[in-house]
A = this chain, B = another copy of it.
Amino acid sequence: MTINKNCIIRLSRYKNALYRLKNLGFVKVFSDNLADAVGVLPSQVRKDFSLFGLTGNRRGGYNIDELIESLGNILGKDKVHEVIVVGAGNIGTALMNYKGFEQEGINLVACFDIDPAKQKKASGMPVFPLEELKDFVKQRSVRIGIIAVPDIAAQQVLDIMISAGIKGILNFAPIRLRGPEDLVVNNINVELELENVIYFVNALRKTRGK
């Protein structure tokens, strides 16, 4: 059983689909419902579940509440996770304003920036000077951080975060970050994804005529 990023991503998607099905009033679900909701094959759903010992009833499908609970446990939804943001620019501000994290047990607790003009402690989420990051993270044992600073600053910010005890990073800077082997880094590169969409639109136009 190899822990595979795509597999965990699928678990999150199953969980989100289950929330929706539950809201729609469903009580049980079959692997092909989930497959359809997420865009994979039913055998993939059952394979993923099997990997984590998630079981249903033959001919009876899966109980949605139980499945949500089990997936929640696997994905760490049983506790609230505190997360810091570094960089109070366009992206950092968008994240701080976003209301959707709370329901997922993700709690953005503070932001840090080098620009004094961005710093504010009054209303909304506090934005502290970068120098205060280390103490804050250590004191509150924050493990997860988001990097939303320009690419040239990203590695240096990461190094500070690592020294403070951060173990997992969501990185928006379009640069490959270097860190110890046990550091978890997921990258979101908007330009790359757009460029990729453009490539495939062109590629399809070429192959499918017109």
Contact = CB atoms under 8 A, between A and B. Distances in A.
Interface string A175-206: 01000001011101011111111111111110
B197 A182 contact: no
A81 interface: yes
A186 B182 CA distance: 29
A196 B93 contact: no
A61 interface: no
A168 B200 contact: yes
Contacts of A8: 196, 199-200
Contacts of A130: none
Interface stretch (A24-32, A99-107, A109-117, A153-161): A99-107
A50 B162 CA distance: 38
Given A188-B188, A190-B188, A205 B167 contact: yes
A196 B5 contact: yes
Nearest to A148: B94
Nearest to A197: B168
A111 B12 CA distance: 30
Contact of A39 (B106, B169, B176, B184): B176
A191 B100 contact: yes
Contacts of A37: 176
A17 B40 CA distance: 33
A201 B167 contact: yes
A129 interface: no
Given A38-B176, A104-B191, A167-B201, 5 more contacts: A37-B176, A106-B195, A168-B198, A170-B193, A170-B194
27 contacts: A3-B200, A5-B196, A8-B196, A8-B199, A12-B192, A12-B196, A37-B176, A75-B198, A76-B199, A76-B202, A81-B198, A90-B93, A90-B94, A90-B98, A95-B190, A101-B191, A104-B191, A106-B194, A106-B198, A144-B198, A167-B204, A167-B205, A168-B198, A168-B201, A169-B197, A182-B204, A184-B201
